[in-house]
């Protein structure tokens, strides 16, 4: 019996981790139902210099919300919608909607009230959700961020906020207590609810008082051991999650394909972009939450990273490299190559790249400037990983037909 409980607790850890990790991040927000804007690119070696982010944590327990998204005059932008289980369930922006100011009515689960005919309705699967808006950086980006607004339909209705654990729960079972409260507050789809019933012996569906403060010692020990095993298993899976390199590059196209039940505007409900096996989808969801919380689908953007040169050696500032993109990455919203550095990232956006007569782009990466005629990115002194960011990638990338060439060592 103890072994069965421990094995079930280990499985529950991987299953519940995305929800609880998401809620911890949501709890850090200074306010609900309002955007917090990133006004400049952070001073970080791995920062994305292409985009400015605006993030909002939603609480729909007080009723629907109005979301207004500005037109951008052709500037790349996207608003990504993420439910409490970390499923990407909607996107609005350059890829999905006309480039004009638009208004959306975001409605909570089970909403059956008045819906405004002038606004497009987006159904939010959980009472708490996250919006991540991305605008191409540059002049005018701050004004677009400010024009991104959320308004409550019923501003005087109190909000439920986030559920908290019951007092007196032992520390080693707080994960299960948080999961018990989270399952009650944020139930998933009917198909997921049927799957969740397997965890009933763990006490996570007990209503009212928590079962964990008074749980017998042997049962508590089995659950705690299982949670520890589940934690170790997730760490191991996260460490092995990277795809095999091709020409020294890794590019994960399907890390966020675990949403199987909710597809609003901008999402793609097709076998290519969903993990058909529900247990495999749960495993992918846990790894994605552990390694890259709130990442978006590859059909919105991809981020290949280079780890080794043509000879298989790790990239280092002790050497120079050349990368010839022939042709450049196919996409409709631009690309950039970024090299992390001690003084911030060095980046080359597609609009600034000098092209050859055949349309190819050759980029030199190294410590020394090769001259004004070259596309040059400064390299740091130690090892590093360049990142190619491609926005609204084309079919050859999404079908894994476009292969990036290896970096060639040069003097």
pLDDT value of residue 396: 97
Do residues 388 and 337 make contact, with C-beta atoms less than 8 angstroms apart? yes
pLDDT value of residue 20: 98
Domain that holds residue 195: 2-27+161-239
Tell whether 364 is covered by a domain: yes
Tell whether 206 is covered by a domain: yes
Q: Tell me how far apart the alpha carbons of residues 220 and 204 are, in angstroms, rounded to a whole number.
A: 13
**Tens digits of per-residue pLDDT, 84-105?**
999 999 999 999 998 999 999 9
pLDDT value of residue 116: 60
pLDDT value of residue 285: 98
pLDDT value of residue 1: 55
Residue by residue, what is the 3-state secondary structure of the chain? CHHHHHHHHHHHHHHHHHHHHHHHHHHCCCCECCEEECCCCCCCCCCCCCEEEEEEEEEHHHCCEEEEECCCCCCCEEEEEEECCCCEEEEEECCCCCCCCEEEEEECCCCCCCCCCCCEEEECCCCEEEEEEEEECCCCHHHHHHCCEEEECCCCCCCCCCCCCCCCCCHHHHHHHHHHHHHHHCCCCHHHHHHHHHHHHHCCCCCCCCCCCCCCHHHHHHHHHHHHHHHHHHHHHHHCCCCCCECCEECCCCCCCCCCCCCCCCCCCCHHHCCCCHHHHHHHHHHHHHHCCCCCCCCCEECCEECEECCCCECECCCEEEEEECCCCCECCCEEEEECCCCCCEEEEHHHCCCCCCCCEEEEEECCCCCCCCEEEECCCCECCCEEEEECECHHHHCCCCCCCCEEEEC
Tell whether 79 is covered by a domain: no
pLDDT value of residue 43: 80
The yes-or-no verdict on residue 9 having pLDDT over 90 is yes
0.75 cut: is pTM over it? yes
Both structure tokens of 300: 């919105």
Tell whether 324 is covered by a domain: yes
Q: Tell me how far apart the alpha carbons of residues 124 and 170 are, in angstroms, rounded to a whole number.
A: 34
Are both 235 and 312 inside the same structural domain? no
**Tens digits of per-residue pLDDT, 375-400?**
999 999 999 999 999 999 999 999 99
pLDDT, the chain, mean: 95
Q: Can you tell me the mean pLDDT for 38-44?
A: 89
Q: How confident is the model at residue 246 (pLDDT cuts 50, 70, 90)?
A: very high
Q: What angle do CA 305, 315, 252 make, to 5 degrees?
A: 15
Tell whether 298 is covered by a domain: no
Domain final position from 220, 239, 258? 239
**Rounded to the nearest 10 degrees, how much is the dihedral formed by the CA atoms of 87, 89, 90, 96?**
100
Q: Tell me how far apart the alpha carbons of residues 365 and 370 are, in angstroms, rounded to a whole number.
A: 9
Q: Token pair 């000098």 is at which residue?
A: 354
Domain final position from 239, 262, 283? 239
Tell whether 334 is covered by a domain: yes
**pLDDT: which is higher, 185 or 372:** 185
**Tens digits of per-residue pLDDT, 264-291?**
999 999 999 999 899 999 999 999 999 9
How many domains is the chain partitioned into structurally?
2
The yes-or-no verdict on residue 131 having pLDDT over 70 is yes
Q: Can you tell me the mean pLDDT for 192-200?
A: 94
Tell whether 41 is covered by a domain: no
Do residues 226 and 6 make contact, with C-beta atoms less than 8 angstroms apart? yes
The yes-or-no verdict on residue 372 having pLDDT over 90 is no
The yes-or-no verdict on residue 239 having pLDDT over 70 is yes
Q: Are strands 51-59 and 65-69 parallel, antiparallel or unpaired?
A: unpaired
The yes-or-no verdict on residue 5 having pLDDT over 90 is yes
Domain final position from 210, 239, 268? 239
Percent of the chain having pLDDT more than 70? 98
Q: How confident is the model at residue 117 (pLDDT cuts 50, 70, 90)?
A: low
- The domain that holds 395 is classified in CATH as 2.60.120.600
Both structure tokens of 405: 């060439």
Of 130, 125, 151, 157, residue with least CA distance to 61 = 157
Q: Can you tell me the mean pLDDT for 352-356?
A: 95
**Tens digits of per-residue pLDDT, 296-350?**
999 999 999 999 999 999 999 999 999 999 999 999 999 999 999 887 889 999 9
Both structure tokens of 79: 């608003």
Tell whether 104 is covered by a domain: no
């Amino acid at each position: 019996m103890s072994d069965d409980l421990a094995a079930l607790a280990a499985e529950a850890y991987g299953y519940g981790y995305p929800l609880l990790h998401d809620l911890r991040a949501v709890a850090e927000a200074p306010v609900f139902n309002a955007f917090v804007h990133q006004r400049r690119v952070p001073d970080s070696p791995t920062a994305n210099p292409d985009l400015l982010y605006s993030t909002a944590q939603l609480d729909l327990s007080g009723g629907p919300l109005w979301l207004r998204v500005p037109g951008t005059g052709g500037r790349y932008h996207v608003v990504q919608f993420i439910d409490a289980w970390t499923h990407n369930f909607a996107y609005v922006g350059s890829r999905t909607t006309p480039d004009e100011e638009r208004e959306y009515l975001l409605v909570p689960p089970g909403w059956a009230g008045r819906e405004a005919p002038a606004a497009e309705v987006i159904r939010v699967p959980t009472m708490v959700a996250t919006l991540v808006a991305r605008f191409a950086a540059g002049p005018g980006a701050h004004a677009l961020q400010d024009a991104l607004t959320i308004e409550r339909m019923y501003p005087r209705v109190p909000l439920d906020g986030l559920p908290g654990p019951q007092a007196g729960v032992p520390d080693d079972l707080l994960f299960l207590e948080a999961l018990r409260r989270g399952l009650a507050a944020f139930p998933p789809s009917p198909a997921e609810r049927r799957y969740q019933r397997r965890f009933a012996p763990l006490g996570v569906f007990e209503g009212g008082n928590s079962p964990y403060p008074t749980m017998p010692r042997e049962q508590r020990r089995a659950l705690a051991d299982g949670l520890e095993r589940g934690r170790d298993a997730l760490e191991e899976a996260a460490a092995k999650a990277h795809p095999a390199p091709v020409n020294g590059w890794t590019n994960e196209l399907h890390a966020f394909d675990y949403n199987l039940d909710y597809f609003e505007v901008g999402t793609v409900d097709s076998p290519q972009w969903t993990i058909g096996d529900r247990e495999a989808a749960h495993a992918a969801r846990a790894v994605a939450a552990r390694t890259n919380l709130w990442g978006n689908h590859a059909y919105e953007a991809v981020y290949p990273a280079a780890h080794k040169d043509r000879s298989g050696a790790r990239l280092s500032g002790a050497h120079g490299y050349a990368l010839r993109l022939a042709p450049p990455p196919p996409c409709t919203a631009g690309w950039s190559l970024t090299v992390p550095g001690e003084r911030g990232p060095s980046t080359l956006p597609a609009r600034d790249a000098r092209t050859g007569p055949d349309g190819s782009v050759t980029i030199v990466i190294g410590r020394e400037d090769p001259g004004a005629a070259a596309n040059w990115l400064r390299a740091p002194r130690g090892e590093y990983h360049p990142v190619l960011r491609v926005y609204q990638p084309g079919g050859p990338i999404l079908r894994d037909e476009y292969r990036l060439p290896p970096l060639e060592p040069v003097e």
